[in-house]
Amino acid sequence: MRIEQSTVMTSSSSPSKPTSCYSRFWSSATRSKPIAPAPDSDVRTNSGGGLARRLGLFDLMLIGIGASIGAGIFVVTGTVARDAGPGVTISFIIAGASCILNALCYAELASRLPAVVGGAYMYTYSAFNELTAFLVFSQLMLDYHIGAASIARSLASYWVSVLELIPFLKDNIPNWVGHGEEVLGALSINILAPIILGLLTVVLCRGVGESSILNSIMTVTKVLIVLFVIGVGSFKVDVSNWSPFAPNGAKSILTGATVVFFAYVGFDAVANSAEESKRPQRDLPLGIIGSLMVCIALYIAVCLVITGMVPYKNLGEEAPLAHAFTSKGLKYVSVLISCGAIAGLTTTLLVGLYVQSRLYLGLGRDGLLPAIFAKVHPVRQTPVHSQVWVGLIASILAGLLNVHVLSHVLSVGSLTGYSVVSACVVTLRWKDKTSTRWISNRAEGIICLIAIACCGFATGILFRFGASFAFLIVASVIAVFAAATLYLRQAYTTPTSFSCPGVPLVPSVSIFVNIFLFAQLHYEAWVRFVVLSIVALGIYAFYGQFHANPGSGGEV
C-alpha cells in the first residue's frame, strides 16, 4: 500500500541530509489515500466526530441550485450580453455543456466515495497524490474566498438599494455602509457585507438542518421569481432584437462562455455534501446532474427573454433584468427582481460558505492543515472552527477590499479543479495490466492525460490570438490521438454505482474543453494560478508534509 511506503526514511538509508530531505518530500508528496466506501454507507449514521446525515435528494438539489442561481442571472447576463449580444444564450449553453461533462465525472466519484468530505480534494488524493490534492484545494479555496467576499458586497449593495426605497432613508445612507467607500485608493470600506457574512456564519454553525431550511426557503423563492419573470417577460419579447444574434462573432461567444462558467459551479457544492447525505450513493449523482439541468434551463430562458425585450446594446450591466422590465414600464416586476436578487445572492453565499468549511474539514482531518479545522461540535455536528475561519476571511476581504476587480480570475480554480476531477475518473477506472517494455501502464496513461490538457491550452491560445485554423487542427488531432491511446491501451473497470458514460472519452473531452476555456481567461488569471501554486507548494513543504496523516481514513 502506498501509504505504508510513505514513512520517513531513517538516517541509515539516507547517505546525506539533502538526500534525506528530498526523499521525505518526494515520499510524502507522491503518496495517495485509497478510500473504499463502506458497504452500508447508504444507511449508516455518523458518530463521534462525524457530520449528521440530514440531507435528502430534494435538499441536495436545492443546494446545487442555490449555489448557482444568483449573480449569474441577476448580473452576469447583462455584462456578457453587451459584448456577445443575444449570442449570450450560446455562451451559457457552451458553459453548461462543459459543466455537464464535469458533472458526470463528479457524479461517478461522489457515488464511488460517498462516505468522505472534501469533494475534488479528496478525489485527487485518492486518484493521484497528496501534493496534487493540496494544490487543487488551494486553487479552489481562493475561488471560494474571493467569490464569497464579492457576493457579500453585491448583496450588501442590493440591501441598501431596497432600504433606500423608504423615503426618509433615500440618499441618507453613507456609501461606507453598503455600497463601499474608497479609502486611500487601495481600500474600499463596507460595513454591511461583514455583518451579512457573520449572520450566515452563525446560521451554518447552528447546524446543517437550520442552514438547509434557510437555503430551501430562499432558493424556492428565487426560482419562483425567476419563473414569474420569464413568464411575464416572454409576452414582451420582440424577435427583431435577436438579430444580429452574434454581432461580434464566435470569439465573443466563447469568451462569454468562460465568464459565465462560474455561474454553474453549484454541483461542486452537492459533491461536498457527501458526508451529510442520507443516501449518498443514490442521491448525490441525481442531485449533481438534476440541479445542473435546472440551472441550464433557467439561464437559457432568462437570456432569451432579456435580449428579446431590450436591444442588447441598451441592457444595463449592473442589474440587466430590472433594467429590461423598467424600460417596458413594469416597475413592479423590477422590485420583485430585486427581492429575487437578494434571495439568490443569499443562497449562493450561504452554500459557498458551507462548501469552504467542508473542504477545510477534510484537510484538517488529513493533517495538511492544523487539527483545529477537523473539530466537529459534539451537539451541532458542524465544523464550527472551520466555519468561523471561513466567515472571518470572507469578512475581512469584503469589508476592506473592492473584490469586484478580482472577479475575472474566479474561474481559474474551478476549471483546473474540474479538469483534475475528470482525470481522476480515468485513473480510478484503470485495471492492472502488464507494463510496456520501457514505461509503466499508469505512467503512460498520465502522460496521455497531460497531453490532452496541453493540447486544450494550445488550441485555446491559438484560437485566442487568431492563429491559422490549421494549427488548431493539429493541436486537436494530437489530443484525439492521446484520447485514442487511453481508449486502446488501457483496460477499465465498471463501478457498481453510478458510472460516467464513455470513459475515457467523456473525461478527455471534459479536460480539453476546460483547459481550452482556461486559455481564454485574462493573463492575470494565469499569473494568479502560477503564484498561488508556488505559495501552496511552500506551505506544503514547510508544514503539510510533516503533519499529514493519510492513514486517518476518509470515513468517520
Quick one: which H or E segment has residue 188? strand 187-189
Q: Cβ of 186: how many Cβ atoms within 10 Å?
A: 9
List all residues 6 or more positions away from 268 whose beta carbon is below 8 Å from its beta carbon.
67, 106, 119, 120, 140, 355, 414, 417, 418
412: left (phi over 0), alpha (psi -120 to 50) or beta: alpha
Q: Where are the alpha helices (DSSP H) in 311-440?
A: 320-327, 331-366, 384-400, 411-429
Give the whole-angstrom CA distance, residue 380 versus residue 291.
27
Q: pLDDT at position 2, please?
A: 41
Query: How deeply is 244 buried, as exposed, middle or buried, from its count of CB atoms within 10 A (0-12, 13-18, 19+)?
Result: exposed
- Residue 47 C-beta-side C-alpha neighbours within 13 Å: 1
Q: pLDDT at position 42, please?
A: 43
Q: What's the CA angle centered on 44, arms 35 and 428, to 5 degrees?
A: 20
At residue 376, what are phi and psi to the nearest 5 degrees? -120, 135
Strand pairing of 181-183 and 187-189? antiparallel
- Nearest 10 degrees: Cα torsion 315, 316, 322, 327: -60
pTM for the structure as a whole: 0.85
Q: pLDDT at position 69, please?
A: 82
Successive 10-residue mean pLDDT values, the chain, 556 residues: 39 48 88 64 46 82 85 74 90 91 91 78 92 95 88 86 79 82 79 95 85 84 88 91 89 83 81 82 90 92 91 75 79 81 87 90 92 89 93 93 68 89 94 67 93 96 89 95 94 87 95 91 86 95 88 48
Q: What is the grid cell recorded at 195? A: 455583518
Q: pLDDT at position 46, please?
A: 41
Q: pLDDT at position 517, please?
A: 86
Q: What is the grid cell recorded at 332? A: 413592479
Give the whole-angstrom CA distance, residue 323 versus residue 312.
12
Give the whole-angstrom CA distance, residue 246 versus residue 258.
16
Q: pLDDT at position 391, please?
A: 96
